[in-house]
Chain A
Amino acid sequence: MTMTTGGGDKEDTDRVDRISSLPIDIIRRIHLCLPRVDAVRTSVLSQRWRTIWASHPKIYLNEEDFGAEFSVFRDKDEVDFSKYCDGEKEKRKAFLTYLQKSLDIRHKYFEHVDTFFLQMTVENASAESLVKKWIDFALKKKVKTLHISLKSRYGKRFDLCNIAFIAATLVDLRIEYCQISNCSFILPTLSSLCLVDVFIEDNDFKDLLAGCPGIEQLRITLYSKKLPTMVVSNPTLKLFGLYYPSFNGKVLIESKHLESLEFSFSRKFMWDIEITSRTTVRNLRLRGVNDQDRTLTHFINEFPLLEILVISDCSNLQNLYLSQRNLSSFEIYQVDEVEVRIDAPKLKSLEYTGGLTLFPGIEASKGLEFVRFYLNPEMLNDGWYIWLRNILECFAHAKHLSLICQSEQAIIFPDELAEVLLPTINDLKNLEIRIDSFAATSQQILDGFVWILPGLKTLSLTLGSITKVIELAELVSSSLPFYVALEHLLAISS
């Protein structure tokens, strides 16, 4: 690498200022990769650089870049500035001057704002006034994406009271940890709205939705009890998501073109969910539903035209019966031992992790293309291997069957079980195995596993980061693994 070094102020004939002649978009792009403090430091390089640091149409203002700790999920009692030590007070001051300076520069020189992201604690009236000025500025300058994550002192929510959210350009709005009261909303182009841990009363919520006539996606992560019944009727709504509400409640969705529903619950709480337009829903994602089996089965089957279904962390579930003629993709994660009956003739892909779940009737889904099992057994006992054998048998007809395991023990059948595991599974032709951490060689894995699959033609075996595709013909011609196993079997039975 060659670089001019040293030299002080001596005359340099090839002294060409390349960077300053680059297109401004490229300089801004480099700038955006810089930590904020370094970006501000470039303001003193030369006249041209004085304002570049505050000129990017994407604006990210984050107190964390100035050393504040803001993370909410790390600790319920969030950081507040009353506890700040002296050094951090300096950082705090730096952040506020940064906010003020960059707003001044933008007011003077730059018109266009594309994205505005602001995350900070608003601890006094002057900070509050600055925040409101910034939001106002972004809305006036035709911002498309607005994300604000604001807290007040002592972990309290910042009150966005009396702010007029009026913008004919805003597409994506995300509000975190605030309280919304007496705001007005006129957002005709808004497509996506996300509220995270926001306090909002019924009336304000109604005003908000009424001000977003084109909304397509609404996601609410709720901890607040202030919204006991949620009614959503925007006809344009396609996706509704409710995540981790911390109280029991009711949601009524009257939107006629709803396509996707996402619910994540923590175990304690029950929700009454009413959807008027069930036949338009194509995607359903459910997490942490703690409900009687029949209720869950019933709930799912009330949507007769599902194409994608994802269920996870439903620990009380025991039986699931799906009758879905259009279902194409089904993922089920982190459940205990469940019996899943699937009547889904168009099913193409299935993914699973969890206990020793059986899938009776899956053979009837003739078009299965991709089946993935993540094998992370809690206990490796006889039951595990018998279950694994059954899974191989009932998914033998899938075009691509993959087993992904943390260690090879999950798939190497113990010799002493050989008899119990017979007969062999003859119609499984292709298999993919991925093992993240392994001690065995690929030959040992083959010997311990493949004998049960004499019809196997290709095995794609990934150990760590290396993938080998093993052609079956080799196995059959040498037939070694199979006979090795057979010898074991004979030895056991004699």
Chain B
Amino acid sequence: MVKLKSNDDKEFEVEEAAVIQSEMIKNMIEDGCATSVIPLPNIDSKTLIKVIEYLNKHINMGKAAETGEEDDLKEFDEQFVNMGWEELFDVIMAANYLNIHELMELCCQSAADRLKNKSVRAVREMLKITNDLTEEEEQEIINDAPWAFEGPEIDDTVN
């Protein structure tokens, strides 16, 4: 078992087989730097719980492929990324810090899927991006590539 400590001082025990999906922790264990508790100053307990949930489910990835449990895993993944943007960014940052490749891919793909076919207004609204372009600049960008801004598939809703 490996102990992880979140930045709000909560400790979690995780099986080694699960936690080594994190390249960063795997390296620490291999270098013998993981003797007691591993502090994770960038990750709060709420996010860490999500990450551990993912690690535990993906513990036997190779085995799942062999026994045909991929469907189950796929369903889990779909459910897993069903979270708000804030939470998703927290998990992305944690996955980036811990260097968990598959989790990173999953979350980035989910973020991209949510942005796909969305109108500029919808994306700004969803991501709370403040538009600091002047009207002229905005028009100039659109004129450069008008095909990117029109079409029946563009969706102006924010969910």
Contact = CB atoms under 8 A, between A and B. Distances in A.
B145 A465 contact: no
A35 B128 contact: no
Interface of B: 67-69, 71, 82-86, 89, 92-93, 96, 104, 108-109, 111-113, 115-118, 120, 123-133, 138, 141-142, 144-145, 147-149, 158-159
Given A26-B96, A29-B108, A30-B111, A47 B132 contact: yes
7 contacts: A1-B82, A1-B84, A30-B108, A34-B112, A35-B116, A41-B149, A46-B130
B82 A45 contact: no
Contact of B130 (A5, A17, A33, A35): A17
Most chain B CB inside 10 Å of its own CB: which residue of A17, A46, A466: A46
A98 interface: yes
How extensive is the interface on chain A, given as a class? 35 or more
Interface in A313-357: none
Overall SS of chain B's interface: helix
A94 B131 CA distance: 25
Given A16-B128, A17-B128, A17-B129, A44 B141 contact: yes
A7 interface: yes
B111 A47 contact: no
B89 A18 contact: yes
A94 B144 CA distance: 10
Contact of B96 (A5, A23, A465): A23
A19 B129 contact: yes
Contact of B116 (A19, A34, A462): A34
Contacts of A94: 145, 147-148
B136 to A, nearest CB: 12
Interface string A1-31: 1111111000010011111101101100111
Contact of B159 (A5, A45, A49, A466): A5
Contact of B144 (A2, A101, A467): A101
A300 B116 CA distance: 53
Given A30-B111, A35-B116, A46-B131, A98 B123 contact: no
A25 B95 CA distance: 13
A12 B123 contact: no
A64 interface: no
A162 interface: no
Contact of A465 (B67, B82, B112, B113): B67
Contacts of A45: 120, 123-124, 127, 129, 131
A7 B126 CA distance: 11
B129 A98 contact: no
B93 A41 contact: no
Given A20-B129, A47-B132, A3 B89 contact: no
A97 interface: yes
Contacts of A20: 127, 129
Contacts of B118: 38
